[in-house]
Chain A
Amino acid sequence: QQQVRQSSQSLTVWEGETAILNCSYENSAFDYFPWYQQFPGEGPALLIAIRSVSDKKEDGRFTIFFNKREKNLSLHIKDSQPGDSATYFCAASVTQVVGQLTFGRGTRLQVYA
């Protein structure tokens, strides 16, 4: 059973558009949701994260929208750039439980100029 599900394996947008990456989860105890960005051949890098007490988190062009009732969240990338082309992983954990960060399968984003 996949505890963290990313609905799209891949997504293509044009430069300047808003890319929307969706994620859902099973475990209602999850309360921390980071998104990681990974370029080919590199380790994943923390992009932005949200805790379940919030419904929105914004950092520059990146925004997470969180719906606790529906157990889903989305990452919006405004004004997408070709340099944003990467794989994005949604992850989830229970804050008080160490070593339990669970990742989705990732969404590969391609931004065309």
Chain B
Amino acid sequence: AQTIHQWPVAEIKAVGSPLSLGCTIKGKSSPNLYWYWQATGGTLQQLFYSITVGQVESVVQLNLSASRPKDDQFILSTEKLLLSHSGFYLCAWSLWGGAGQNTLYFGAGTRLSVL
């Protein structure tokens, strides 16, 4: 069975500090990987997606970056946090290619508070 693990569960950070959030998928080889951001009570905004190691596509510019250093790992980071970065960050995976590639399975999320 596939499992998706996000870390940390929650973070409280200061404005201007760096950030690194991680996501690992086990039990599925070569998945598509995604980062989404959700404001409190808000919709899900796609940030990045990756279909293979080393390749990441940006969907919106929010002073964030993403990397996929391994097939099963997706990292979201920034060198300088803004207040507007606060929210719920969700990692997701889908099958590579075909009819299943837009069926996303989400992790439990990381709650980020920027003060």
Contact = CB atoms under 8 A, between A and B. Distances in A.
A94 B102 CA distance: 8
Instruction: Determine the interface band of chain A, counting residues with CB < 8 A from chain B.
Output: 20 to 34
A42 B44 CA distance: 13
Interface in A91-109: 93-95, 97-106
B73 to A, nearest CB: 18
B4 to A, nearest CB: 8
B32 A98 contact: yes
A58 B90 CA distance: 28
A89 B57 contact: no
Interface stretch (B12-20, B62-70, B74-82, B103-111): B103-111
Contact of A95 (B45, B51, B102): B102
Given A43-B109, A89-B43, A99 B103 contact: no
Residue among A42, A93, A98, A100 with the most chain B CB within 10 A?
A98
Given A44-B106, A46-B105, A98 B44 contact: no
Interface in A12-35: 32, 34
A43 B108 contact: yes
B32 A103 contact: no
B106 A99 contact: no
Contacts of A32: 99, 102-103
A73 interface: no
Given A95-B99, A99-B34, A99-B59, A43 B46 contact: no
Interface of B: 32, 34, 42-46, 49, 51, 57, 59, 90, 92, 97, 99, 101-109, 111
14 contacts: A42-B108, A43-B92, A44-B90, A46-B103, A49-B103, A94-B102, A95-B99, A98-B101, A99-B34, A99-B46, A99-B51, A101-B46, A103-B43, A105-B43
